[in-house]
């Protein structure tokens, strides 16, 4: 027989704790009713930290002998059970949230990237002590937020996240991006038609072209998938496609028809070329574009 957990209220009753939010909860496994360890479909996304070895875990018909400090994940439809050791009491923590929590949200649109909810049980992660403390801090912070009483301030608070940088996945929202990645034209060459540009001769010119070299490459965080015309940069208000493969420290751009000189500024993203657009070229999210910029790229901060 498989137990089906229908909602957060039912989930919390297994742990004898009140419901603070209808779609999300954090629970201490030490408080769990033992019937919860029979075959159960929690009907939600779960992240479970096992703090002690207290039995044999079965998830999706796969058995796992785990060590203390192991973390594993589940999603709706996954069946989990635990064969408890004699006299053992479970110790650990469990974060659970309903699928409705992320519907029509930026997280929901990008949720396909979090493929660890599809891992097999053998892919459960054994955490180092530092990693375990980070996870516990996350659980405790969520629990504190759930238990915090609403007042005239907290009820109107919004977590901006990447919105701090003027970036949004909602087209109707008008925010001004505050991050700019830029470089300068290193060299300009006139190259005849049918010549090739870059490694592996990938950039084949179908016309007489003006090619500029700019000192930024994949070692700086410029994704190689932007090469061969996929990505563009901004030069004097006009877009110049990236020609050929992106190299480690440099890439080439097509300046044909653009009034440009060596030393002119080149915008990789920023004013006139949105990070969202760069992310769309790459089939990813703006977070990845920003966090891919390597440490060797100099940062300049403006403070008003």
**pLDDT at residue 302 above 60?**
yes
Last residue of a domain, one of 157, 189, 220: 157
In a domain, 221, yes or no: yes
Buried b (16+ CB within 10 A) or exposed e, 15-52: bebebbbebbbbbbbeebeeebbeebbbbbbbbbbbbb
**Cβ-proximal residues to 266 (8 Å cutoff; 6+ apart), any chain:** 182, 183, 184, 185, 212, 214, 233, 234, 235, 240, 253
**pLDDT at residue 293 above 80?**
yes
Give me the CATH number covering residue 114.
2.60.120.10
Based on the fold, state whether residues 120 and 194 are members of the same structural domain: no
Give me the CATH number covering residue 241.
2.40.37.10
Based on the fold, state whether residues 195 and 276 are members of the same structural domain: yes
In a domain, 124, yes or no: yes
Rg of the chain over Cα atoms, rounded to whole angstroms, equals: 26
Element (H, E) at 125: strand 125-126
**Cβ-proximal residues to 99 (8 Å cutoff; 6+ apart), any chain:** 44, 45, 76
pTM: 0.56
In a domain, 168, yes or no: no
Last residue of a domain, one of 93, 125, 157: 157
Based on the fold, state whether residues 25 and 144 are members of the same structural domain: yes
Based on the fold, state whether residues 66 and 121 are members of the same structural domain: yes
In a domain, 97, yes or no: yes
Cα dihedral across residues 84, 85, 90, 92: positive or negative: negative
In a domain, 169, yes or no: no
Closest to 29 (Cα-Cα) out of 95, 91, 85, 89: 91
Number of domains in the chain: 2
Based on the fold, state whether residues 12 and 132 are members of the same structural domain: yes
Last residue of a domain, one of 157, 191, 211: 157
Q: 233: number of CA atoms within 13 Å, CB side?
A: 35
Residue 251 — pLDDT band, cuts 50, 70, 90?
very high
Give Cα 179 to chain centroid, integer Å: 19
Residue 226, class by beta-carbon neighbours within 10 Å (0-12 exposed, 13-18 middle, 19+ buried)? buried
Give φ, ψ of 248 to 5 degrees: -65, -45
**Cβ-proximal residues to 60 (8 Å cutoff; 6+ apart), any chain:** 78, 79, 80, 120, 121
pLDDT of residue 259: 95
In a domain, 166, yes or no: no
What is the spatial distance between Cα 211 and Cα 292, in angstroms, rounded to a whole number?
26
In a domain, 167, yes or no: no
Who wins on pLDDT, 91 or 192?
192
Based on the fold, state whether residues 33 and 107 are members of the same structural domain: yes
Q: Could you tell me the two tokens for 173?
A: 């929202």
Based on the fold, state whether residues 152 and 193 are members of the same structural domain: no
Based on the fold, state whether residues 68 and 188 are members of the same structural domain: no
**Cβ-proximal residues to 28 (8 Å cutoff; 6+ apart), any chain:** 15, 92, 93
What mean pLDDT is reported for the chain? 86
Q: What is the mean pLDDT of residues 262-282?
A: 95
pLDDT of residue 108: 66
Based on the fold, state whether residues 103 and 194 are members of the same structural domain: no
pLDDT of residue 210: 97
Q: Range of 15's domain?
A: 3-157
Q: Could you tell me the two tokens for 66?
A: 């785990």
In tens, the pLDDT along 81-132 reads 887 777 777 788 999 999 888 776 666 666 666 666 665 555 667 788 888 8
Based on the fold, state whether residues 150 and 207 are members of the same structural domain: no
pLDDT of residue 109: 66
Indicate the range of 20-24, 50-54, 236-240, 247-251 predicted with least confidence. Answer: 50-54
Based on the fold, state whether residues 208 and 128 are members of the same structural domain: no
Cβ 255 vs Cβ 211: under 8 Å: yes
Helices (H), the chain: 8-14, 106-109, 129-147, 275-282, 286-291
Based on the fold, state whether residues 34 and 84 are members of the same structural domain: yes
């Amino acid at each position: 027989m498989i137990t089906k957990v229908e909602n957060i209220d039912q989930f919390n009753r297994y742990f004898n704790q009140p419901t603070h939010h209808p779609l999300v909860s954090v629970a201490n496994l030490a408080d769990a009713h033992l019937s919860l360890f029979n075959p159960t479909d929690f009907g939600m996304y779960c992240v479970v930290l096992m703090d002690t070895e207290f039995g044999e875990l079965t998830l999706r018909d796969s058995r796992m002998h785990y060590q203390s400090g192991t973390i594993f994940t589940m999603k709706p439809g996954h069946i989990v059970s635990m064969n408890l050791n004699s006299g053992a009491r479970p110790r650990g923590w469990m974060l659970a949230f309903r699928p409705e929590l992320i519907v029509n949200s930026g997280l929901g649109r990008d949720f396909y990237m979090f493929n660890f909810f599809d891992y097999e049980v053998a892919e459960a992660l054994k955490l180092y002590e530092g990693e375990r403390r980070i996870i516990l801090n996350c659980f405790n912070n969520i629990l504190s937020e759930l238990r915090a009483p609403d007042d005239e301030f907290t009820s109107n608070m919004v977590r901006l996240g990447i919105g701090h940088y003027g970036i949004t996945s909602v087209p109707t929202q008008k925010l001004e991006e505050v991050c700019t990645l830029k470089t300068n034209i290193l060299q300009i060459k006139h190259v005849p038609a049918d010549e090739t540009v870059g490694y592996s001769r990938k950039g084949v010119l179908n016309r007489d072209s003006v090619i500029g070299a700019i000192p930024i490459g994949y070692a700086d965080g410029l994704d190689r998938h932007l090469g061969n015309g996929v990505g563009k940069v901004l030069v004097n208000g006009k877009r110049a496609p990236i020609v050929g493969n992106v190299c480690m420290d440099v890439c080439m751009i097509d300046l044909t028809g653009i009034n440009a000189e060596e030393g002119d500024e080149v915008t990789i993203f920023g004013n006139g070329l949105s990070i969202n657009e760069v992310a769309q070229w790459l089939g990813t999210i703006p977070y990845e574009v920003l966090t891919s910029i390597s440490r060797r790229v100099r940062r300049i901060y403006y403070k008003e």
